[in-house]
Structure 1
Amino acid sequence: MSAAEFTGLAVLHDDVLMVDGASGSVEAGDVLALTGANGSGKTTVLRVLAGMLEPTEGVALVGGRVPVDRDPVFRRSLAALIGPPQTARDLTIVEHLQFIAATWGATAGTAREQGERLLADLAIEHLARRYPHELSSGQSQLVALAMTLARPFDVLLLDEPEQRLDADRLEQVIDVLAVRADAGAAIVLASHSPRLLDALADERVHLEGV
């Protein structure tokens, strides 16, 4: 059984065909890349896998289960960065990470350590005590990724994680994601970055659009 798969996926939304006939799968420890022009349906496929959108036709499974956002077993299995995460203006970045980890069962001390480690892995530990509104766009992207990685998951969905990152920062993100894949996570990502695709993708699904 694949960690995540979709077969014959079609989504009709407000009489607009968002994606038509997309199929792909990813095993634990591998990276599946969704490629294609803007509007080709990459984000739509990620939303279906995340349980945020129901397909009009076809089947999507994560861990053998139909994605349902309210299913606690499904929610425990998957983390997704699709659009900016919600933040609280009065919590620092490390407090956000600590809160997320604690929500998923980590003790206060462990949650703090995990948050600080994530920031160090992404070379943004200097942002620990800043607030979300004090970040640049590139810093916000790295913090969003850290918030996504702060919780447990078997499957990781990422929509263009390279957004607003310079070359050095992109290399750090590639390294962090490679570590997660090596540890057994299945990753599905949409990307326009040749560097990221060459470094991480085990398989690719190219969407032509409709």
Structure 2
Amino acid sequence: MLIWSFIIFVDLLMLAAYLQTQDVRAVLSLLWPVILGTLILLYFVLVGSLRSQQSMEVRLNALLDTLELSWEDVGQLDLTEERRDLILDVFANNAMSSEHVNADYRRTRGTDAKGPAFGNEKSDFEPASKRQDPSAHEHDYDGLEGPLGTAEALLEEANKSYAARAQERWEASEQADIDMIEAGVDRLGDLVKTDWFEKNAKDGAVAELMEQDEPV
């Protein structure tokens, strides 16, 4: 719209110059203030747009610092394509511009491009490179776990429940095992200490066990 307005305005000036039978210098003297003003206007429009974009990235940075989001979480949000791309760009800029890996990246250091070594020396991997002692940075991991999130607490509760059920099934299996009853022991470890396995050795026992469809 701005470009078309400029073209129409220039055409009107040239028409006015023609009607007044002015020479080229007179036309240029009329045009240069318009051209200069248009360029200045375009400059301020571009600068304002760039500052608005940078301001949006700063606000998104502050927002993402308070949220626990992953790349997968961003993909599931109901966002416009422009907003989603902007958030992903902020993620990438945060990861690449950080000189030192922060706590969030240390938690997922297996996928962090910077890795777990925090040395400041920038060099290629070579046999002659200086070794980074991991023990010198053990304190960097202090207090990283913090309170569990909702999903983490649910997973921890499920793990404890599964472990308790597995232990109950193991103890019940030990108590019902005929071989252990005959040997007069209560634990599988106690049965291993005896000579029961040497006395009851059987060729192909492992292969026979592996061919069973039902769990023992």
Which structure exhibits the higher relative contact order, with contacts defined as CA atoms closer than 8 Å and separated by 6 or more residues? 1
The answer to whether the superposition gives a TM-score over 0.5 is no
Q: Which protein has the bigger strand share?
A: 1
What is the TM-score with the length of structure 1 in the denominator? 0.23
Q: Which protein has the bigger helix share?
A: 2
Larger radius of gyration: 2
